[in-house]
Structures are given as C-alpha cells and as structure tokens.
Amino acid sequence: MKLMRSRFRLISLLLTCVFLLTAVICAVSALKQAGITLPAAQKLIPSSVSPSPEASPAEEKPSPAPTDSATGGILPEETDIPSDSEYNIYGL
C-alpha cells in the first residue's frame, strides 16, 4: 500500500503538470489568435497552428521612412536599437 500511495502521488503530479502545460499552450494559442505575440512562448505551439494574418498588428503596414521636410530626402537611422520584431514584445 505504501508503494501504491507513492505512485498515486506521482500520477497526481503528472496530471497536474499535464493540466498546467495544456493551460499554458491553450493560453498562448488564444493570445496568438487574438493578435498578442509573445516570442518566448511561440515555441510552445506547433507550426501547424497559425494565427489569422489580419490579427497580428506587428505585421501591419510598416511606417514610411522618415524624410527631410526641406529636401524630401530619406534621413538615416538615428537609433542603435535594431528594428527587429523580436524586441517588439506586445506587437505595437
């Protein structure tokens, strides 16, 4: 009975882990569908599930490059922060 109870505890732990993992995966899937992108959590979702293309604001039309109002020429980048979408946590 002692061994059985310790195995019951193991099964209980297994069930808890499976439930929590499922909850995290479902939450990430729902957030992805709603258009909120979390790069670290995206790895949990298989590639077969893709959000609707219109739902992600991060992939919307890029803003036009800044131009010089006097000459109309394109200004060079002034910041050191890369414009990689990896840093754009909330997709804004």
Terminal-residue alpha carbon distance, the chain? 57
Residue keyed to tokens 């060079």:
76
- Total number of residues binding another protein (CB under 8 A)? 29
* C-alpha distances in Å from residue 61, one per residue of 18, 33, 45, 54, 64: 39, 19, 25, 11, 9
Contact 73, 67 (CB under 8 A): yes
Q: Which stretch binds another protein (CB under 8 A): 5-13, 57-65, 67-75, 81-89?
A: 5-13
Q: Is 65 in the site for another protein (CB under 8 A)?
A: no
Nearer to another protein by C-beta: 7 or 67? 7
Q: Nearest approach, Cβ of 60 to another protein (angstroms)?
A: 18
* Residues binding another protein (CB under 8 A): 1, 3-5, 7-12, 15-16, 18-20, 22-23, 25-27, 29-30, 33-34, 45-46, 48-49, 52
